[in-house]
Amino acid sequence: MLRVPKGITILMRFNASFGSTLGTVAFSLTACSGNGSQFAPGANQGIFAQSRAANSSTLRIVDRASVKAQIDVAQYGSGASAPGQVNEYTANNKKNVGPFCQIEGLIQVIGIETDESGNLWVPQLATASGPGEIIEYAPDCGAPIATLSVPSGWAIDIAFAKNGTIYVSNDLGPVGTGPGSILVYPAGATSPDGELTNPAVAASQGVAVDSKGNVFQSYGGNPGGVLEFKGGGGSGTILTGIDIPQPGFVFIDKHNDLIVIDDGTKLDTFAPPYAALASSFRLKGVSSQCAIDKAEKNVACADYQNDTVDVYAYPSGTYQYSFNSGLRQQAAYTFGVAQDPR
């Protein structure tokens, strides 16, 4: 489960759900090469150009021909002085090079994802007008393509099925207003036409879809756990072999192994039929979301304890490197990460 630092007012839903598992996270101050949203071009950074669209604010690169793969990083934001943002970096960023482009002016972002076309999907818990939404951006901090509405609740994670169906993890606000759920958007739809629910769910966390169209939901409860919705429907089955009382976000690899963030500090792998733990490795800090690359050679984790992205070899879990250039420190909370291609 996402272990939230104290001081984030909009996330009282999580604070109330997590109870005693929460504590003050000791953030470390790390030198940052950027200053707010402005970055000084370095030898490997390219040249930045300011670009303003009608409904987005981005820093765009002029020439990115050398970028073959990338890691996208979302920061939640903590008000007008430090709004949410998504930075896009060249993969294998061992030299801690700054982002080649940036989407600015976002509001309360936790989980992000890229699709097979390289488009970036950004759920926002809320907007300036009230309800949350999910924005699809063209590759490389491009213009918005589509917006999915969220009728109520907070969209915090998103996953895609091969048939085009989109599943959104929806946490329904303060305790007592109802359980979390998975919103279902048919291919091409901008509003949900269904919802996956189970009475065990108090707070919906991550969502993932395997190659067979089965949907997995991690959730907070008493205790929390992971549900499987066979074929993307029904009321879901609790996977009793996954004994994680405080699960965080989840993802699936090419073998349909289910990888679960365990209390923010470990990455646990479960092979089908998910009856027992197959492997586990410890994370450097406290992470909310991790993302695997297409070759499944590495996993990048958003470490909001240190406001860094930590990269590990997969599946061994051997620590590789971290980067933080261009990420705000102690102000915006580094919660989301995605890799492209996926």
Give, for 155, the enclosing helix (H) or strand (E): strand 154-160
Q: What is the pLDDT of residue 27?
A: 23
Q: How far apart are CA 224 and CA 227, in angstroms?
A: 10
CATH of region 9-340: 2.120.10.30
**From the first residue on, what is the mean pLDDT of each consecutive set of 10 residues in the chain (342 residues)?**
45 31 25 28 28 40 62 85 88 95 91 95 80 92 95 92 96 63 96 93 94 96 92 96 95 97 97 97 96 96 95 97 88 90 80
Q: Show the tokens assigned to 201.
A: 């769910």
Q: Given the DSSP bridges, would you call strands 133-137 and 144-149 parallel, antiparallel or unpaired?
A: antiparallel
pLDDT at 330: 65
**Cβ distance 326 to 33 under 8 Å?**
yes
In residues, how long is the chain? Answer: 342
Distance of CA 275 to the CA centre of its chain: 26
Nearest CA to 189 out of 161, 222, 220, 166 is that of 166
Q: Cα separation of 2 and 313, whole Å?
A: 23
SS3 label, residue 269:
strand
Core vs surface per residue 80-108: b (16+ CB within 10 A) or e: eebbbbbbbbbbbbeebbbbbbbbbebbb
pLDDT of residue 173: 57
Q: Where are the beta strands (DSSP E) in 161-202?
A: 166-171, 181-185, 194-196
| 39-55: burial string, b at 16+ Cβ within 10 Å, e else | beeeeebbebeeeeeee
CA atoms 315, 318, 324, 329: torsion sign = positive
Paired sense of beta strands 334-340 and 70-75, if any:
antiparallel
Q: What letter does residue 174 receive in the DSSP assignment?
A: S
| β-bridge mates for residue 238, sequence order | 227
What phi and psi, each to the nearest 5 degrees, are found at residue 142?
-75, -175
Query: How far are the Cα atoms of 53, 56, 66, 168, 216 from residue 206, in angstroms, in the given order?
Result: 31, 26, 33, 9, 8
Paired tokens of 314: 């997969």
Sign of the CA dihedral 187, 184, 159, 269?
negative
Q: How many Å apart are CA 191 and CA 94, to the nearest integer?
A: 40
> Which residues are paired to 229 by β-bridges?
215
122-141 in b/e burial notation, b at 16+ Cβ within 10 A?
Answer: bbbbeeeeeebbbbbbeebb
Domain residue ranges of the chain, discontinuous segments joined by +: 9-340
Is there a contact between 205 and 157 (Cβ–Cβ < 8 Å)? yes
231 Rama class: left (phi>0) / alpha (psi -120 to 50) / beta: left
Look up tokens 């933080």; give the residue.
324
CB 277 within 8 A of CB 247: no
* Whether 159 contacts 167, CB under 8 Å: yes
Give the per-residue pLDDT at 211: 96
pLDDT of residue 65: 53
